[in-house]
Amino acid sequence: METRVAAAMRARADASAPHGELGRRVRDRAVRLRRRRRVAGALAGAAAVVAVSAGLTAVPSRMFTVDGRGAAPAVPVVPDRSSGPTSLPGLPGLPGAAQDPAAVGTDPRVLHFDIYLDPIGATASDWTSAAGYERFVTPYDGSGRAIEVLIGRDPAVLEERRARPGWNVRTDDGGRGTTETPAGTVSVGDRPATLHREVGPGELAGNQVVVGAVKDTGVGWILRWQPVDGLYAVAQVVGATDADRETVRTVAGALRLDQAQRCATPLRLAASPDTLTSCRTSVTRVPAASAGVWRLSALDYARADGTTTTVWTEAKPQRAAHDLAQFQPNHTINGVAAQWRAADPRGLWLLDYGPAEVFVSGTSEDEAVALVRGMTFAPDLADAGTWVG
């Protein structure tokens, strides 16, 4: 499935990034190795973050369309919640991150923030709630740029989890590191935040980018600040250009910390394996055929032996012939062909299970088959409010 290895941030403007589970696992293995080397240096920048207060409002800046072109300067009117259906079901009974920062990253079914989508031209959004952090990602245009916002109680966790520009750039000398340059202190609303410009290996002297399609994705603009005591935030544009210095300020201004919403997925499991530790769900603003607004979901479960079971479901993506040729079914589950893969990535793979492609990993063959046998999907994929998963 190596042809599915694509940058998670390099997405279509109308959907979250097309990156199947098999490709994601290959990519993530490399990402983890790089993160171990980078975290110590990245934290030096986070330590300089200046504390600010909650209640961020939209930043007076340029309005950006999804193709990256700027319109006239404007201050968008911020509604009570972002207009749906890109926003997930609200949880009005729960406080947002500004009111309860200690709750951030403690319940994988809850996101303690929202994003006002209009200023950033978002047509799709990808949400994650996991141990120690919560994240929002959206494609910015069709040229590889993407927006990412993370909040959490520990800046080290945010540095570990945020995307790096140019991670998918292979160079002749094998270099894949990134370099940050301080770019001053800017305003988020009326609060200060530290700005950095980060470059990937494609811009480092002496490197020749081998993959031409990603030669311009090695720049990122990063804002770091502390919205309330005990809470840190990172907003960034990856795969950026120098003009995105202002874009990242607009992103920060779109952050809403006075809202909570549910990490809703249309996936339903008859029996959940062990303890849920991470929920990721991705939706579009406009329904797309039978997939509705749903794009993908991933649920991680911690097992008693310390390993993790992952249930990945994705609205049936377009597959390359090379990928399809690797599918060699050896099971039939609820009338659907499935393949147990013993080779890496190891797991149970279904190409056509209801509305989705499915991959279950981190468990035994028998357990994976039983898990899928009890898997169903919500009947209305166009209304996230009806999803109980």
pLDDT band at 283 (very low <50, low <70, confident <90, very high): very high
pLDDT band at 117 (very low <50, low <70, confident <90, very high): confident
pLDDT band at 322 (very low <50, low <70, confident <90, very high): confident
DSSP one-letter string for 38-49: HHHHHHHHHTTP
Q: Give the tens place of pLDDT for each residue, 336-348.
A: 999 999 999 999 9
pLDDT band at 389 (very low <50, low <70, confident <90, very high): confident
Q: Give yes or no for a contact between 230 and 153, defined as CB atoms under 8 angstroms apart.
A: yes
pLDDT band at 165 (very low <50, low <70, confident <90, very high): low
Three-class SS of residue 37? helix
Whether 186 shows a pLDDT value over 90: the answer reads no
Which of these, 363, 340, 357, lies nearest to 267 by C-alpha position? 357
Q: For the residues 175-194, what does the mean pLDDT come to? A: 80
Whether 191 shows a pLDDT value over 80: the answer reads no
- In this prediction, residue 141 carries a pLDDT of 60
User: 3-state SS of the chain: helix, strand, coil percent to 5?
Assistant: 20, 35, 45
Rounded Cα–Cα distance for residues 202 and 214 (Å): 9
Whether 1 shows a pLDDT value over 70: the answer reads no
Token digits for 45? Answer: 């920048």
Whether 213 shows a pLDDT value over 50: the answer reads no
Strand partners, 28: none
- In this prediction, residue 146 carries a pLDDT of 85
Query: pTM for this structure?
Result: 0.77
Rounded Cα–Cα distance for residues 357 and 170 (Å): 29
- Write a three-state SS string for 286-308: CCCHHHCCEEEEEEEEECCCCCE
Three-class SS of residue 105? coil
Q: Give the tens place of pLDDT for each residue, 25-47.
A: 434 444 443 333 332 222 222 22
